[in-house]
Structure 1
């Protein structure tokens, strides 16, 4: 018997003596009962053949250049958000089809953003812009929301790359609220299921060079209104 095993035997002997001397002590060791058997994951339908094509992409899968808008000194704070949105909408319809009435009306209302008339400016659908470094390059990115005639909110995010404007996110939905948490953009949207809402976390993906919906969940909501129409599918930038 080697030294380590002798030491272990001595330790067990000492423990047995303590237990014998403390018989009836309510603080002594007691059995916890039967331990449930651990169950590993069960793989369902292991013989499924691989799919022939990927499913429809959820959200943007690539960044999109926006031309015609200069970024002085590479600072997006020096660019008029309405100018950015107008150029982007004309070049990248995103969720909308160019023939869609809501899209055409939104583009027309964007012209009001540049009008000196106060009444026209009030019709401008571009909401207050926000700035946050979402890509991790230590430069603020531009976050804009556009109110559309179909009661949705079109959210677009822009980054500056070599003094060129790049759209790194675009989605449209019946939005209940938007939050910034660190470098994540969290969007709450109406669910078609009464009493619930969608929470989608958009995060920068350094491989795709775009914001991707990294986490999507449906949660209870006591104030989510009933929706009569299905939730619109988020934008897919493929093929732009």
Structure 2
């Protein structure tokens, strides 16, 4: 619970009195006071210096996600004229087996698309409310849309821009989503982690050279309260066998 104005004022008065008392006891308050010894700077340890650097990736991760959406044109160049429901239907048509049929992975999403007659973000339509924000810096808005992949808890997040009256997808991600944010030229997605008290935070940022949103940050961050670490007993802490070896400490990132 936040402290009240009265409590903060009383605490501030007590702090001022304490500082004045300390200044009187020490004599000249204008003299410089030592802050104690400074820790020596440590440079990072470079591991395996004789290892030959790789020249190309071992796996195809798909860092650049960019493709023209076939069958959707934007004659006036205004992306707001594009129906998000139509865009999702086009994507589903390319992977029809995932949405149609008794054993389709996202069969429920395919069935619920019939509820999108009013538009995205209404009723049981799996297409969520669209958002428009200039993510490329060209002064025109991009389209950020999401749709639920049912059954399950996965949400698809997509970003589209317009180039020469063509709709171009510049970012794509499917995940269990706990939050999505637009900040500057970036899309930030927060997802739950299997580690209690932590979450994943992934950030895509517009790259003018690749003309796509690139995954620029991939982090695991603490969200819950920090758990107290039990204090080791004197017998355990004094045991020389538990002290880290030089090789173990060097391998710690």
Q: TM-score, normalised on structure 1?
A: 0.69
> Where does residue 139 of structure 1 map in the other structure?
140
Q: Does 1:113 align with 2:110?
A: no
Is 1:54 matched up with 2:57? yes
Whether contact under 8 Å (1:62, 1:209) holds in the other structure is no
**Cα displacement string for residues 8-36 of structure 1 (whole angstroms, at most 9, x for unaligned residues):** xxxxxxxxxxxxxxxx9886678776654
- 1:44: which partner in 2? 47
Q: 1:139 to 1:31 in 2, by over 3 A?
A: closer
Runs of 4+ in structure 1 over 4 Å off: 24-36, 57-60, 96-100
Structure 1 contact 60–210 (Cα < 8 Å) conserved? no
Write the mapping of 1:1-240 to structure 2, written as runs, cut at 5 A.
36-51=39-54, 53-58=56-61, 60-91=63-94, 101-114=104-117, 122-149=123-150, 150-222=152-224
| Cα contact 1:133–1:140 (8 A) shared by 2 | yes
Partner of 1:12: none
> Is the 1:179–1:186 contact (alpha carbons within 8 Å) kept by the matching residues of 2?
yes
Say if 1:156 and 1:98 are closer, same or farther in 2 by CA, change over 3 A.
Answer: farther
Matched position secondary structure for 1:207: coil
When residues 48 and 160 of structure 1 are mapped into structure 2, their CA distance, relative to the original with a 3 A threshold, is: same
| 3-state secondary structure, aligned to 2:136 | coil
Q: 1:85 to 1:44 in 2, by over 3 A?
A: same
Q: 1:50 is paired with a residue of what secondary structure?
A: coil
CA distance in 2, matches of 1:195, 1:208: 36
CA distance in 1, matches of 2:78, 2:123: 26
Task: Identify unmatched segments of 5+ residues in structure 2.
Answer: 1-26, 226-253
CA distance in 1, matches of 2:107, 2:54: 38
CA RMSD between the two structures: 3.1
Q: Is contact 1:174–1:189 with CA below 8 Å preserved after alignment? A: yes
Cα drift, residue 54 of structure 1: 0.9
**Paired residues of 1:72 and 1:79 also in contact (CA < 8 A):** no
Tell me which of the two structures has the higher relative contact order, counting C-alpha pairs closer than 8 angstroms and 6 or more residues apart: 1
Residue 107 (structure 1) shift: 3.5
For 2:197 and 2:31, locate their aligned partners in 1 and report how far apart those are by CA, in whole Å. 52
Query: Using the alignment, how far apart are the partners of 2:212 and 2:57 within structure 1?
Result: 19
Q: CA deviation at 1:60?
A: 4.5
Structure 1: 5+ residue stretches without partners: 1-23, 224-240
Length-normalised TM-score, structure 2: 0.66
